[in-house]
């Protein structure tokens, strides 16, 4: 498939123009080649985008639109994404080295997200509340203003849509800052949004440096909310700035999620769940099931089968439909994964499979699916997010033991449980600290279901009907019905 990328211009305040910041380069790491180098956004570009967004958000052409009218904009964007699925998935696969099957699913999910929030905004009600006097009280939901959406490189179009769709549906303007490693698909989204006829200035895309452009967005008084997805240390830093500004911030951060396999599980189901949970997306997933706990009674048998199945995974080019595990996004990221595997060895871990680059794929940033045993949950390998195809496996004795080990983590994003005992699954699901728990499955998603993490995995929830409310503020209005002057205010 041959297609072009964008012409290198950014979408700033409704204009397509060259960025004025440092160059950023998108690479196709699967082949070790450059896709495109473009001038990133500068601080001045960000200031232009914020000013245009503020004006567009306040313009009656947007501000006074009824919810069902805003919904039509979202439907048009969804239509634009759906009509461009092949192009979007190709660009995103080139940008991130993910398989075409995965990027196609991500693009379809982005279209679904716009449709979902179109439906939510059209069907969400304001409140009439119980009065304690002769008045009518309503509580209405209003937009916050200009929202900065800051996103990571691992699933760009889907994570962008999860912020842009509810923020626009709620009546805000959005300035999107994607990660420097994956600028291209976000510019494609900008093209689609522009062609869908969204009022000028309401949406900008500023690929550029996190420290420069990202920090400016978070600090700027014209930004009313930051919705961030990315690493925990970046999220902490941004939350500090937001706290000083007293600005709402939602944080979707990292994870080190436990998958728990009890000895009464359906083993085929569990093996498939574990494989998909950690090795799909080459492990570059916040919800990757990267810590595996297997009950002692089946530990040896299960791990042996799991290693066999892992060795059988097809590692290869993202455009080969047989590929299950593709290249990592960037050679620098593979170096970081390799450093973690070296650390695991230093900590006394035994590499049961993988632990190296595959043969015959030298040009790309590939790394074999890797399983490490022999470590304790206290090891750094078991505590820090590796964000690659690396699984640590540990035994456990009973329910209490695995709940204690599973919860012994700074993170609280996700968890998988495999057992045929539904009551036990329910007890463990309730006892584990995680924003999402999968029972006898893993990595299933619905836009209708809230998503987010606790502890070092973040705060706030995206998706679901309440996902719209995260981009609104409430105003309560008391309207007198009695027609009598207030008795306190007596005058002669």
Q: Check if the beta carbon of residue 435 is closer than 8 Å to that of residue 457.
A: yes
Binder of ligand NAD out of 152, 258, 388, 464 (CB under 6 A): 152
- Report helix, strand or coil for 367: coil
Q: Is 286 a catalytic residue?
A: yes
Binder of ligand NAD out of 31, 102, 252, 338 (CB under 6 A): 252
Q: DSSP string of 172-205?
A: -EEEEE--TT--HHHHHHHHHHHHTTPPTTSEEE
Q: Is 177 a catalytic residue?
A: no
**CB of residue 387 to ligand NAD, shortest distance in Å:** 5
385 binds ligand NAD (CB under 6 A): yes
Region 427-456 residues binding ligand NAD, contact defined as CB under 6 A: 453
For 365, phi and psi rounded to 5 degrees? -95, 55
Tokens 């500068």 map to which residue? Answer: 42
Give the Cβ contact number of residue 267 at 10 Å. 15
Binder of ligand NAD out of 26, 84, 151, 326 (CB under 6 A): 151
Which of 163, 155, 70 is closest to 120 using CA atoms? 70
387 binds ligand NAD (CB under 6 A): yes
**CB of residue 198 to ligand NAD, shortest distance in Å:** 22
Q: Is 252 a catalytic residue?
A: yes
Catalytic residue among 252, 256, 338, 415: 252
Give the Cβ contact number of residue 488 at 10 Å. 5
Instruction: Kindly write out the interface string for residues 279-298 of this chain, putting x where it contacts ligand NAD by CB under 6 A and - elsewhere.
Output: -------x------------
Instruction: Kindly write out the interface string for residues 162-201 of this chain, putting x where it contacts ligand NAD by CB under 6 A and - elsewhere.
Output: ---------------xxxx---------------------
For residues 226 and 239, what is the distance between their CA atoms, to the nearest angstrom?
9
Binder of ligand NAD out of 14, 255, 369, 416 (CB under 6 A): 255
Contact window for ligand NAD (CB under 6 A) among 137-145, 152-160, 440-448, 484-492: 152-160
Q: Is 163 a catalytic residue?
A: yes
List, in order, residues 6 or more apart from 381 with CB less than 8 Å away. Answer: 340, 343, 344, 347, 349, 372, 375, 392
Tokens 């009218």 map to which residue? Answer: 69
Sites of contact with ligand NAD (CB under 6 A): 150-154, 159, 177-180, 210-211, 214-215, 218, 229-231, 234, 237-238, 252-255, 286, 385, 387, 413, 453, 458
């Amino acid at each position: 498939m041959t297609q072009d990328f964008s012409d290198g211009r950014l979408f700033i305040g409704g204009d397509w123009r060259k960025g004025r910041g440092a160059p950023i380069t998108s690479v196709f790491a699967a082949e070790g080649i450059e896709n495109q180098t473009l001038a990133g956004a500068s601080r001045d570009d960000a200031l232009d985008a914020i000013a245009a967004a503020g004006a567009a958000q306040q313009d009656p052409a947007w501000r006074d639109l009824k919810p069902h009218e805003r919904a039509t904009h979202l439907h048009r964007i969804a239509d634009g994404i759906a009509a461009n699925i092949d192009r979007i998935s190709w660009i995103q696969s080139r940008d991130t080295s993910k398989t075409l099957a995965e990027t196609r699913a991500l693009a379809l999910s982005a279209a679904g997200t716009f449709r979902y929030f179109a439906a939510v905004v059209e069907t969400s009600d304001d409140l009439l509340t119980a009065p304690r006097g002769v008045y009518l009280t309503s509580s209405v939901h209003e937009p916050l203003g200009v929202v900065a959406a800051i996103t990571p490189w691992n699933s760009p179009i889907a994570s962008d849509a999860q912020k842009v769709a509810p923020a626009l549906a709620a009546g805000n303007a959005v300035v999107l800052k994607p990660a420097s490693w994956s600028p291209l698909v976000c510019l494609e989204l900008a093209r689609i949004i522009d062609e869908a006829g969204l009022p000028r200035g309401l949406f900008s895309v500023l690929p550029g440096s996190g420290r420069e452009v990202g920090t400016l967005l978070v600090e700027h008084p014209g930004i009313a909310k930051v919705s961030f997805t990315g690493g925990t240390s970046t999220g902490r830093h941004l939350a500090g700035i937001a706290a000083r500004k007293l600005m709402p911030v939602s944080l979707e951060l990292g994870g080190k999620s436990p998958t728990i396999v009890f000895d009464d599980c359906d083993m085929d189901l569990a093996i498939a769940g574990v494989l998909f949970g950690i090795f799909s997306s080459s492990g570059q997933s916040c919800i990757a099931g990267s810590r595996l706990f297997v009950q002692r009674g089946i530990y040896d048998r299960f791990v042996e089968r799991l290693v066999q199945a892992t060795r059988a995974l097809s590692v290869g080019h993202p455009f080969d439909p047989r590929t299950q595990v593709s290249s990592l996004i960037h050679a620098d990221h593979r170096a970081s994964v390799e450093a973690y595997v070296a650390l695991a060895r230093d900590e006394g871990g035994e590499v049961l499979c993988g632990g190296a680059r595959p043969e015959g794929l030298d040009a790309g940033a590939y790394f074999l699916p890797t399983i490490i045993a022999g470590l304790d949950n206290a090891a750094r390998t078991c505590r820090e997010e590796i964000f690659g195809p690396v699984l640590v496996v540990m035994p456990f004795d009973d329910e209490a033991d695995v709940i204690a080990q599973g919860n012994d983590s700074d993170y609280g994003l996700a968890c998988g449980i495999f057992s045929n005992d539904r009551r036990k699954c329910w007890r463990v699901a309730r006892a584990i600290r995680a924003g999402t728990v999968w029972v006898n499955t893993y990595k299933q998603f619905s836009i209708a279901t809230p998503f987010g993490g606790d502890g070092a995995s973040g705060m706030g929830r995206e998706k679901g009907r309440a996902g719209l409310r995260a981009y609104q503020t409430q105003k309560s209005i008391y309207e007198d019905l009695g027609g009598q002057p207030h008795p306190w205010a007596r005058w002669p």
